[in-house]
A and B are shown apart, each in its own frame.
Chain A
Amino acid sequence: MKNIGLYLAIVSLVLLASCMDLDQFNPNAPTVESFWRTEADLNTGLMGAYAQLQDDYYGGGDINSVCLTMSDMGTVTRKSGELYNVARFIEEPWEFYWWQNSYKLISRAYQVIDRSGSIGDNENIRAMVGEAQFLVALAYYNLIQMYGYHIAYVDRELGAADDPAPRGDSLSITGLMESLLLEAIPVLPLASEYPLDQYGRVTRGAAQSLLGKLYMQTHQYDLASEQFSTVIGSGQYILLDNFAENFINDGVNPNEEAIFLVNFTLNGPQGEDDENSRHRSYGIREMAGMGIFSDIAPTPFIFESFLSERDADGNFDPRMDITLFNDSTSRLFYNLTYEEWRYFGKLDLLYDKRITTSFMKYSEQEGFALSGDSVVAPEKFKIGQTDFLVIRYADILLLQAEALNEIHNGPDAADELGNTAYDYVDMVRERSNMFPLSVAKPGLSRSEFLTQLQHERVVELAEECVRYFDLRRWGLYDNNNTNDTDFETWTFEDRWANIPLAEREVNPNLTSNPGY
């Protein structure tokens, strides 16, 4: 009997010995291995790459903030703090994650490119690869303007076990960008070839424009002009009659002036990172009760640029009120007049007396109401729904003018479309009721025309994240900038931001930029 008890106990032990299931699989997310099987998967992955444009990159305002503060467009209202030091080149712009987010975009896009081969080969797949190739090139375009060419050279999806990326140079990085875009251009559809519900994807014109912009930055004006001519001659893009509609949420849609944009909206899936939150910190004044911060403000230089020339009717340049909230505007900013801001926002107590304006393009205006003397507080921050234009047709027209001026040593020669540099500038000016330049300032020399173009680009493109790149192209970034007192503390080492320390520590292939 005793032995039976022992026997049974042992048997039961054995029977029960593996009642726990140690193979537990994450029910909350699929694995990567179960994905990337169909054409639809590839498209979903591509959307994931696009999404990086919204998340903190263009959307969170990182690129905007750097473009503004590190150029002569913007300054920091508070005379202290990290942002202030970034604007004055005292501190590195780590907090803007420019490096990290650019490489995330590259990684997400290469996931599409690298996985496409095993899915198949057809027109759609080739076009999606082309879109991804454009996104990689766009990320590199932003990277090289901030860090120079000695950045990490990544040309595929990297995993944790891969060797750290090698150090790039001007040949390898521009070579990679060029080949990506040249491969993408023939396979990408024209804007008009996309169905309406696909508006916002990368078009052939976008890739050609980006390639042209790259050539401009490397001063290969003839190659750039070739690309711009194709874009302008494609008939895909126009200048909108109303300049302002480029920068508001309820403008024309689709926008035929937008060559490439980041699509923001309110009604996406809940909790999606699709807010354009740049406007949050660009208010004219921090306002109790309104959730408005005022971190970055325009330099007086922008305002003064507008004052230099009146329009055809003798009024202020109509683009001024679209660009800046200023003391002569009749527009409202969050439903308040400038005078009301002066009163409620105590403008007389501004930190920096020179700053009497704030940015107006892309600002979100809805949702506030006045009640007696006090502002009725909104329930929460306004969610940014305004699309951000990365490449605008007017920019391309002005760049073509600049390229022609350089190629032909003056603004008078025509391109194959029959337009001169003057013609392109006039297209942009006349839209905004300015006298044609050919009337206002005829017969400019090459260098006079370039100087004029530099002004035209300010009044047309201020706040659009092109000035930072323009200054670098023109060599004006290098310590001869007098428009912004922030540049007083510019030194040679600030020519390029340093390769981030966090990257250098774990990637021995990379070294500090010169001067650090």
Chain B
Amino acid sequence: MEKLTPFKIPRNFFLTFLLILLAGLQIQSAYGQVSISGKVSDENNNGLPGASIAIKGTTEGTITDGNGTYSLEVQDTGAVLVFTFIGYITQEVTVGNLTELNVQLTPEYVSLDQVVVVGYGTQRKKDITGSIAIADTEIMEKSESTNITNRLQGLVPGVKVISNGEPGSIGRIRIRGNVFTGVDGSGEANQPLFVIDGVLTNDNRFLNPNDIESVQVLKDASSSAIYGSRAANGVIIITTKKGKAGKPVINLNSSFGLQQIPDQIELANTEQWARINRAIYADATPDLYADTSATGLYDPTRYTDWQKEMTRTAPVRDLNLSVSGGSENSNVYFSFNNTRQEGVIGDPLFERYNGRINSEIKLGDRLTIGESLTVGKTILSEESGPLYAVYEMLPVVPVYDENNPSGYGYGDDTRARTYASNPKALEELIFNQTTAHHLLGNAFLNFKIFEGLEYELNASYNMQLSHTKEYNEKGQIAWVTILPSGLSEEDDEFYSYFIEHKIQYQNTFGKHAISAMASYVGQEEHGRVHGTSITGGYTFEGQNYWEIDASTAPLTSYSHTGNENTYAIESYLGRVTYGYDEKYLLNMMVRHDGSSRFAEDVRWGTFPSISGGWVLSSENFFASVPVVNFFKIRAGYGLVGNATGADYVYQSELILRSIGGVNYNLGPAGNAVLGATRGRLANTYIQWEKLQELNIGADLRLFDSKLEIIFDYFNGRTYDLIYQRPLPQSVGAEQSSIIENNAGIKRNGWELSAIFRNRAGEFSYDISGNISYVKSSLNDLANDPYISDTNEANFIKTRSFLNEPLGQYFLFEMDGIYSQEDIDALPEGFTVYNQVPVVGDAQFIDHGSDPNGEFAGEPDGKINEFDRIPVGNVYPMHYGISFNASYKSFDFTIFFQGVTKWDVYNSWYEYLITNDFSNYPADYNPYLDGEGNDPRAVFGFSHFSKLPSTRYLENGAYFRLKNLQIGYNIPFKFVSKFRVFVSGQNLFTLTKYKGLDPELEGSMFDPGVDPMAFPNLRTFSTGISLTF
């Protein structure tokens, strides 16, 4: 039990592989009778470099060089050569007596023979039986987003990306919605798995999206099950670029752009603010702002437009250089990237340096080894709070105020009551930067034991060392509170090992195609944090030295943290596929996973899946069907496990520590004595969360394969979800809940995508669209009939009921404000939250419903918490539309994205209107002296008019021009390609939503509540692309 051994590779492992390697090298062959050469060209007679030529029925073959020419020796004149190139129809030619064989390949718009990475193996596109989407990397390349996730936005149905405009931020990505509650219910447990060149990881700021060759998304349980415990939220498989045979290709891409916040919330000016403010305080503090003259106590000459003061146009630039090349037996790809993005509010910054080397070498006929390695550095300064402050800060507060010791303007008692921090001061005084170094490497060895049987070994290492430093000058930047000087530093270390053995067999017997795979996978992750923070100690006049060594603070102002954690998983997995006559396809997998997060006797879980496909278009009866070129229906069913819970949850925890411990002081001088008590209560039964899902889909190709349609329907449920069960507080536990496997969520929905590609002379184009809908609902929850978004009964905005949508709005229904007639018509003794309404108060409808939102019947003459009703639509339809075209030297891409049938809770408006210490939206018109149609302004949070109601529920539908790019290829004889382009992102948005940005997602139990995140930015950029 005391084993805490680090990851070790046994010595005999290397010996074994040395033997295998030697075995491979000994196998030599020498034959060759007929020599043949020629050129492989495209439809325009240009040579196709890298086309492959295989001798049918053997493993022999070659690929074309940079000019599309090849030469090859075949054993006899009866040999058949198979010419293949991605995007072209495969051709077979018998050699005969020819010594020169030139072939012109015909383009295929959507290749069914395209090889798709499906996890621990590959499949031809036409053999796929699960729901696996292939992202269009051409569109991804035309995005200016700095990470992979954001470039996926809107491209794949069922894959939702919610991005924001903060530099370096990675969008929140969800495949088929939220189904895992996670330890904290935040929804973060729903992040999909990224597999980058076989390494299991997350999307990361340091990865260069320009290195991507292909992206596949495994959406349903029957496909993702092969990744078992890590894959319950879907898998995004990314393959990076490899060198191609032929002369070296040098690529240089450079772009420069300008970014700005596209929309503002129009806020009240000084005069408007003062009018509302006087109304608010008229009741609460009559003598404050008592002066009813135009000025009151505030200074009417002061006006600061904080949005104007704080926002700016910020530059973004991106530089990419890649070199690739290769021969028959080896290839290499090298790239370098530098990206720099500045912030539009405050001084955030994102900068990335990244290099990559991918290489592969064949040692003899049987052995291939290779690696992919990327190293990089990122610098990230995050927004330090100005965004909120910009909207909170009053228009009557000046940016700078020399009367204040700090020199910044801030609120005060009588003239400008706000506790907000001065946004400019936050920007100027606070420095916050994270510098991270990354390494992600993978080495592999592939050995062909005999024809059809392969052994592969993968070993990877993923490391990230980051350092965060934050410091600030002392200064008063807000009313009442003071920002003390201070400095904190934190070092984070993360590394993980990954090892994979795989044996794979593939063969065809007549019409029977069989493949089988067995694998062992092990992974261990380590994390370590160490930090120090100091409050005070940086008050040196003139200039401060921002290092721990230079602090003058007493030792009691220092605090330290340090901790470490380790997580290990081990898996045995296998897959069998069977195909009959390319008509009937069967795919079966099973996976056996063990996780260190669970106690020994519940540690292992077994997760099987099965899927099948029927290619109707290959049946004889289908031969007479016109127009349709390909039609396959498929169905899959799978069970996947999930282990997103925290480490060590099954072990009890004693609180016994100096920092933050339960210590007490004894003696006249108060000497500290260590104390201890039980901490988090252990749940020794905590185990795998599970997802089971049925997926039914169809793939259809029409009109000479120019139109391709893919449809999927899915219906699944999660169970044994980790959820915090609240404990009676009388248990006296340090945490008032315990983590248990006690919840379940259902999800169902559909996805549809279509693409039409055509070419007319020199004009070629494609139009594609996708649309998806997913609904998640609470299926099971021990002890509770529902989950609310907050425990504070008065501020509930959503409630998830059993079998109803997750995060359903649960609000008072507002029906304008009370007029005198309304008041007169009220029944005797009518109260709202025990208060008697007056003219101008918010009028809520007396539903008299119960906690489950069921109507109790008649109105009961009072409005209380039981008058909330489920209202609004939380689950929208998502869609994306793109159009790509090229004509002669011009190319054009336009991409729209949007949601429809969606209601959004406008937290911005709620926050600005109900907060007496912030500014107000300009269109907020509270009832005052007989005018105004918003509820009258009252001081404090407890007035019922301020309760969450349908007043803040708005139509959240939007239609956004996400990306537009126009390129021109300049004919230039020294280079093979010279393209210039201009592009724009988020150029316009059609929406009725009044918040900052309708592209939003709240957390799991309040998906439609605006989290008030940084808005997406409008970007104009221009760039060049050179290929030598």
Binding site for B on A (CB under 8 A): 1-2, 4-6, 8-13, 15-35, 41, 44-55, 78-82, 84-85, 90-91, 99-100, 103-108, 110-111, 151-152, 154, 158-160, 162, 164-165, 196-201, 253-254, 263-274, 286-289, 291-293, 346, 349, 351, 374, 377-380, 385, 387, 500-503, 505-507
Contacts and interface: CB of A to CB of B under 8 A. Distances in A.
A106 B727 CA distance: 15
A379 B485 CA distance: 7
Interface string B642-654: 0000011001111
Interface in B1-31: 1-5, 7-10, 12-13, 16-17, 19-20, 23-24, 26-27
Nearest to B412: A288
B535 A503 contact: no
A380 B559 CA distance: 15
Contacts of B455: 5-6, 9
A160 B681 contact: yes
Contacts of A48: 655, 662-664, 675-677
Given A16-B13, A34-B654, A108-B677, A82 B942 contact: yes
A158 B731 contact: yes
A162 B731 CA distance: 9
Contacts of A158: 730-732
B625 interface: no
A150 B727 CA distance: 19
B485 A271 contact: no
Interface in B824-840: 834
Contacts of B2: 25
Interface string B476-505: 100111101100000000000001010100
Given A2-B450, A268-B670, A346-B413, 9 more contacts: A12-B17, A15-B13, A17-B520, A25-B1, A90-B942, A154-B730, A198-B667, A200-B667, A272-B660
Max chain B Cβ within 10 angstroms of own Cβ: one of A20, A54, A158, A199: A20
A349 B731 contact: no
Interface stretch (B173-181, B211-219, B281-289, B573-581): B281-289
24 contacts: A13-B501, A22-B594, A24-B647, A25-B4, A26-B565, A26-B653, A27-B563, A29-B653, A29-B655, A29-B657, A54-B664, A99-B730, A103-B729, A104-B732, A107-B732, A108-B662, A160-B727, A165-B730, A199-B666, A263-B664, A269-B661, A291-B480, A379-B536, A380-B482
Contact of B652 (A31, A103, A349): A31
A32 B654 contact: yes
B381 interface: no
Given A51-B664, A264-B665, A264-B670, A18 B570 contact: yes
A29 B732 CA distance: 20
B959 interface: no
Interface in B501-520: 501, 503, 520
B795 to A, nearest CB: 11
Contacts of B648: 24-26
A20 B16 CA distance: 19
Interface in B701-754: 726-734, 736, 738
B479 A288 contact: yes
A306 to B, nearest CB: 27
B248 to A, nearest CB: 35
Interface stretch (B595-603, B630-638, B688-696, B974-982): B595-603
B141 interface: no
A89 B659 CA distance: 38
Nearest to B10: A15
Given A8-B23, A11-B16, A13-B520, A31 B654 contact: yes
A107 B733 contact: yes
B523 A20 contact: yes
The 3 A-B pairs at the shortest CB distance, nearest first, are namely A107-B732, A80-B940, A265-B670
Interface residues of B, number: 124
Given A9-B455, A265-B665, A289-B476, A28 B520 contact: no
B667 A5 contact: no
Contacts of A274: 663-665, 672
A317 B343 CA distance: 63
A271 B679 contact: no
Nearest to B366: A5
B663 A268 contact: yes
Contact of B667 (A28, A84, A197): A197
Contact of B662 (A6, A27, A52, A79): A52
A476 B517 CA distance: 82
Contact of A503 (B482, B728, B791): B728
Nearest to B528: A27
Contacts of B26: 1
A428 to B, nearest CB: 25
B90 interface: no
A164 B668 contact: no
A326 to B, nearest CB: 21
A164 B447 contact: no
Nearest to A14: B520
A12 B501 contact: yes
Contacts of B596: 21-24
A12 B13 contact: yes
A2 B681 contact: no
B726 A506 contact: yes
Nearest to A22: B596
B923 to A, nearest CB: 25
A103 B501 CA distance: 54
Contacts of A30: 653-654, 656
Contacts of A287: 480
Max chain B Cβ within 10 angstroms of own Cβ: one of A22, A81, A507: A22
A111 B654 CA distance: 12
B482 A291 contact: yes
Nearest to A374: B405
A2 B449 contact: yes
Contacts of B284: 78-80, 351
B3 A152 contact: no
A91 B792 CA distance: 12
A272 B660 CA distance: 5
A339 to B, nearest CB: 18
Max chain A Cβ within 10 angstroms of own Cβ: one of B410, B535, B676: B676
A128 to B, nearest CB: 13
Nearest to A379: B536
B414 A253 contact: no
Given A19-B522, A349-B413, A271 B659 contact: yes
A44 to B, nearest CB: 5
Given A32-B652, A99-B729, A271-B659, A291 B667 contact: no
Contacts of A10: 503
B526 to A, nearest CB: 10
A506 B783 contact: yes
Interface in B313-367: none
A33 B12 CA distance: 39
A293 B731 contact: no
Nearest to A4: B23
Contacts of A267: 556, 669-670, 672
A270 B556 contact: yes
Max chain A Cβ within 10 angstroms of own Cβ: one of B17, B20, B536: B20
Contacts of B659: 269-272
B671 interface: yes
A24 to B, nearest CB: 4
Contacts of A104: 732-734
A98 to B, nearest CB: 11
Contacts of A286: 413, 480
Contact of A31 (B523, B653, B670, B834): B653
A106 B732 contact: yes
A51 B663 contact: yes
Contacts of B565: 26-28
Contacts of A27: 4, 563-566
B939 interface: yes
B201 interface: no
Contact of A6 (B4, B453, B941): B453
